[in-house]
């Protein structure tokens, strides 16, 4: 019987950019087998070498997680939809103190009554609800694409204390989506720009700024006095760190993630339901899901998901409404469709399950496979843009492989480049001449590093050089006609 397999954006590099594929199958296992037979590059991203489904990929039939049914043997009916749902990746402490919640709610001033009047006439909020918001505190992790609308709407709603953690600086490329920052803020610390904007929206809000990197050593101390933690991060180590710290402290984590045209949102609150690890026990391998800077992002998408996060945060603070606890909301901006999937608390979850094995914060860079190991240091050889230019000028026989996607190549490329998209590198390794030094190029030098590892693991014997900082370094140091992006 025919069933439709939905392919998320993160995996479409391996299905020739197809988002929906019809297969003939009576079980999930058969559907995946047919799929991977047709698209061999997808096999290693869905299954281990032993044939076991990887833990960072969840499979849903319609709205149900197959882990709550018969697993890979879950039967399919004609017209069913099989969805692959992989995890997606897409602040200095001030002397101000964070107020702790007390039973005595603060009164509203006359100016605040006017400002929040549209809330006050809602019976679900009213005066008591608005006073609750004034007495509440929310910590925002990041002031980027998700954190921008989160901060602005929470400030406008009258949340009394907003903490922001960020240590990055405003870059021109941020302005396409990070609406809390403006052109005049380029080069400023994001935390300073965000604080100014929050105060301009609502001077009644207390802003506590932490210009430092969130880590295992400071997370529990930063989180402990806040009511809700809103996660606006764009990387897996911080996402797992936020989840684990919230579980250990009994705090709700308002989750959002975006990639290209797709977004996810949920509320992970271990006291009431599933946590992030219940959904994704392990992260994907480094490089499978590019960051927004490499994979691209529709500018309005984080605004939509960030607003959903703000909505969920306000409901948590008020203690009203039907929250996204135990629900995962999926949004596709390109097809303008929402889907909702059920989540279930995993009794074997390593941090919130019946017998947790994680009882303190761990090394999340290592957990996500991002720490370089000795063998990796020995394998990867780098070449700078200036060094490459010298070798090209002196006529060295090199082959330059650009692993970016075709639409990225249109922005500019090095001379004599051969284009092999990242998802096809291993399959097309025989097109490379092992007798020539090969320079591998991507945008910023991260995907190319992963491509080199994949080629070496696949047995490629030639010398591979990673262009340090990618095509952007060539655009900066050699050819200013090529735009940095």
User: Which residues are catalytically annotated?
Assistant: 292, 442
Q: How does DSSP classify residue 340?
A: E
- Burial label for 37, CB within 10 Å (0-12, 13-18, 19+), is exposed
Q: How does DSSP classify residue 285?
A: P
Report angle CA 43, 44, 48 to the nearest 5 degrees: 110
Q: How does DSSP classify residue 288?
A: S
- Alpha-carbon 167 to chain mean position: 18
Token pair, residue 54, equals 């990887």
- Alpha-carbon 390 to chain mean position: 38
C-alpha span between 390 and 13 (Å, rounded): 34
Which residues make beta-bridge pairs with 2?
24
Q: Residue 58: enclosing H or E segment and its boundaries?
A: strand 57-61
CA distances to 214, 298, 358, 443 from 293, in Å? 20, 11, 32, 9
- Alpha-carbon 214 to chain mean position: 16
């Amino acid at each position: 019987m025919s069933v439709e397999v939905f392919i998320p954006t993160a995996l479409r590099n391996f299905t020739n950019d197809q988002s929906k594929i019809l297969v003939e199958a009576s079980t999930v296992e058969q559907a995946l087998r047919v799929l991977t037979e047709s698209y061999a590059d997808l096999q290693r991203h869905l299954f281990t070498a032993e044939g076991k489904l990887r833990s960072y990929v969840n499979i849903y039939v319609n709205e149900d997680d197959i882990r709550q049914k018969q697993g890979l043997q879950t039967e399919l009916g004609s017209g069913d939809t099989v969805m692959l749902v992989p995890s997606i990746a897409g602040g200095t402490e001030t002397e101000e103190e964070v107020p702790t919640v007390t039973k005595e709610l603060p009164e509203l001033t006359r100016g605040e009554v006017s400002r929040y009047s549209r809330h006050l006439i809602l019976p679900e909020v009213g005066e008591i609800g608005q006073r609750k918001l004034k007495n509440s505190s929310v910590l925002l992790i990041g002031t980027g694409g998700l954190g921008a609308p989160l901060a602005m709407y929470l400030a406008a709603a009258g949340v009394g204390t907003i903490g922001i953690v960020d240590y990055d600086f405003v870059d021109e490329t941020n302005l396409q989506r990070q609406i809390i920052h403006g052109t005049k803020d380029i080069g400023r610390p994001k935390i300073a720009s965000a604080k100014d904007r929050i105060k301009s929206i609502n001077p009644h809000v207390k802003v506590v700024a932490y210009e430092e990197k969130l880590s295992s050593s400071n997370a529990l101390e930063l989180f402990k006095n806040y009511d809700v933690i809103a996660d606006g991060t764009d990387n897996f180590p911080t996402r797992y760190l936020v989840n684990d710290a919230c579980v250990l402290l009994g705090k709700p984590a308002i989750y959002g993630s975006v990639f290209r045209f797709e977004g996810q949102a949920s509320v992970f609150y271990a006291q009431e339901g599933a946590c992030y690890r219940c959904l994704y026990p392990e992260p994907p391998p480094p490089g499978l899901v590019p960051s927004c800077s490499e994979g691209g992002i529709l500018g309005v998408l984080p605004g939509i998901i960030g607003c959903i996060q703000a909505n969920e945060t306000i409901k948590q603070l008020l203690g009203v409404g039907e929250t996204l606890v135990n629900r995962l909301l999926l949004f596709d901006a390109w097809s303008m469709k929402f889907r909702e999937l059920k989540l279930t608390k995993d009794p074997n979850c390593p941090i919130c399950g019946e017998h947790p094995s994680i009882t303190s914060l761990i090394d999340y860079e290592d957990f996500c496979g991002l720490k370089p190991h000795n063998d990796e240091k020995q394998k990867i050889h780098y070449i700078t843009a200036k060094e490459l230019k010298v070798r090209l000028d002196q006529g060295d026989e090199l082959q330059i492989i650009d692993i970016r996607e075709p639409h990225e190549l249109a922005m500019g490329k090095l001379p004599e480049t051969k284009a092999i998209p990242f998802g096809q590198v291993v399959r097309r390794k025989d097109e490379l001449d092992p007798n020539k030094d090969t320079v591998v190029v991507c945008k910023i030098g991260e995907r190319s590093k992963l491509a080199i590892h994949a080629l070496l693991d696949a047995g490629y014997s030639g010398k591979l050089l990673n262009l340090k900082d990618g095509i952007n370094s060539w655009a900066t140091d050699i050819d200013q006609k090529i735009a940095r992006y």
